[in-house]
Structure 1
Amino acid sequence: MGKSEKNANVIQSLQVGMSIIDVVAAQNRPLKFTEIQELSGITKSNLYKYLNTLTMLGLLYRNRKDGTYSLGGKLMEYGTAALGDRNVIGKITPYLRETSAHTSQTALLALWTHDGPVIVDICSANYGLNIGAQVGTRLPLLSATGKVFAAFKDESDPQVREWKRKELGKLSDERRKQLEEEIEQIKERFFSYALEPLVKHVSSFSVPVFDFQRDLVGAVTVVGFTEQIPQTAEEEMGKYIVEAVLEISKSFGFVAG
């Protein structure tokens, strides 16, 4: 009886619509109608109606050339609103573009959500590069970005503690000890490096952005082919990014030293 009462208070068509968005999001690439049908199990006639509605609402985007579906701009609007950091993204985006252009690499901005760092903006200078992530992707602890959040995000926040607990639970004792040593170095150098964390031959480094209270605002991360990405802040590209991100922090009232 309890189950039927619970179901009576649920709009099934909304659940179905959201399940379609989940399918598209999970594949991390544009999908054809037939692929969505196969993955969702929804009949053709119903799926047409759902896709037309979701596209009309801007929750999905339909490419007119090949007919594929991907996540729509409306979802990015909602994501940005949920983060509550429109001003942060707007402030940092110009620096992100400049960084990408100067380094000829992909630059991304990650902010904190309730369960870990998420990419909120990407500027790509190499459109053929698959970085293994897109706007909305949650980044793991062992990524360059994840290490920055592990090093500088306030652990008095229970959400931060829970995220670290879950992520550390996936590691061996040896890897956990190695990571602890890395994090101590990151705290000293304000620079994090990760060797091919998501995609083979693609590595990244990340630099923290602070505010006037010296709290972590987010992380600017540069991604590219492994041989092109510096492993230390002493290398030319590393120095440039550290200085550029320091300017971003100053725009939020951060005082160095």
Structure 2
Amino acid sequence: MNNEKNHTMIQSLQVGMSIVDIIAAKEQPLKFSEIQELTHITKSNLYKYLNTLTHLQLLYRDKRSGAYMLGSKIIEYGRSAIGHQDIIATVTPFLQELGQDTSLTVLLVIESPNGPVVANIWNTNHMFNIGAQIGTQLPILSATGKVFSAFPTSYIIQDWKKRELDKLTLEEKTMLAKEEQKLIMNGISLSKEALVQNVISAASPIFNYNMELLGTITLVGFLPFFEQDENHAASQKLIEAAKEVSHIFGYQE
């Protein structure tokens, strides 16, 4: 461990946080001797650091094994940080880049009591009207609706799904169930003419650290510029963008 002094910082705080970093990086509980071997801090000083970090709940010591792991405060801070991230501000640059790369309309869709609703739009060609604007509610059989139906991680969306299913025929429900399974496997949902005739839409889910659905990034385009194919170049770019955004919000595949 580098103990070089920096007079613009509090060295003891740096040392304490470096211990937390080591335990976090190992992704498993570490015993006192293991931490001492990794940090080269004297046993007497390391005991004081660990005792302080445990008291502050930044670390937790298992009484049976004596091993140290990340404490409840770390989890609390992480949840707070993620909760304060503005999803619209975070995702907008990805909408812009995806729109420029594909020349298609890109939507950010989030949940509402009335179901999936468009929260932001990036359109490289404002001459085209794809039938959606901010505030537009999307049906369950749209590409976006299928994502929310497949991952109803909130009570709001669960209630919306029940209401929507009541409107569908048995054949439509069967088709939806098959589409959901395909979506879960491939990470993308596709639909034709859900908004406007001859329009293809594709949606990929955005998850947070707790594997909860935050929303979708949705691509919309006219045939033949955008094909209903998960292997289409634009579809693959969409999947990668949604994965990258999910990682920002702490999601681990």
Normalising by the residue count of structure 1, what TM-score does the alignment of the two structures yield?
0.63
Worse overlay, 223-232 or 196-205: 223-232
Which structure 1 residue ranges, 4+ long, deviate > 3 Å from structure 2? none
Kindly indicate whether residue 205 of structure 2 is the aligned counterpart of residue 208 of structure 1.
yes
Counterpart of 1:185, as a letter, is: K
Give a deviation string over 1:34-75, Cα, whole Å, max 9, x none.
xxxxxxxxxxxxxxxxxxxxxxxxxxxxxxxxxxxxxxxxxx
Q: CA offset at residue 146 of structure 1?
A: 0.6
Question: Do 2:111 and 2:157's aligned partners in 1 also have CA atoms closer than 8 Å?
Answer: no
Q: CA RMSD in A?
A: 1.6
> 1:131 & 1:239 partners in 2: Cα distance?
21
Question: Do 2:108 and 2:215's aligned partners in 1 also have CA atoms closer than 8 Å?
Answer: yes
Q: CA offset at residue 160 of structure 1?
A: 2.2
Match of 1:140 in 2: 139
Kindly indicate whether residue 220 of structure 2 is the aligned counterpart of residue 228 of structure 1.
no
Number of positions where the alignment pairs a residue of Structure 1 with one of Structure 2: 171
1:165 to 151, 159, 162: 162
Residue 176 of structure 1: SS of its match in structure 2?
A: helix
Where structure 2 has 5 or more consecutive residues not aligned to the other structure, the ranges are 1-82
> 1:158 & 1:100 partners in 2: Cα distance?
32
Bigger-Rg structure (1/2) = 2
Q: How does 1:91-170 map to 2 (within 5 A)?
A: 91-154=90-153, 157-170=154-167
Q: CA offset at residue 144 of structure 1?
A: 0.8
Counterparts in 2 of 1:118 and 1:85: CA distance versus 1, 3 Å: farther
Q: CA offset at residue 107 of structure 1?
A: 0.2
Match of 2:252 in 1: 255
> 1:104 & 1:89 partners in 2: Cα distance?
21
> 1:143 & 1:110 partners in 2: Cα distance?
12
Give a deviation string over 1:68-122, Cα, whole Å, max 9, x none.
xxxxxxxxxxxxxxxx987110000000100001000000100001221110100
Residue 160 of structure 2: SS of its match in structure 1?
A: helix
Question: Do 1:205 and 1:230's aligned partners in 2 also have CA atoms closer than 8 Å?
Answer: no
Identity of aligned residues (%): 38
Where structure 1 has 5 or more consecutive residues not aligned to the other structure, the ranges are 1-83
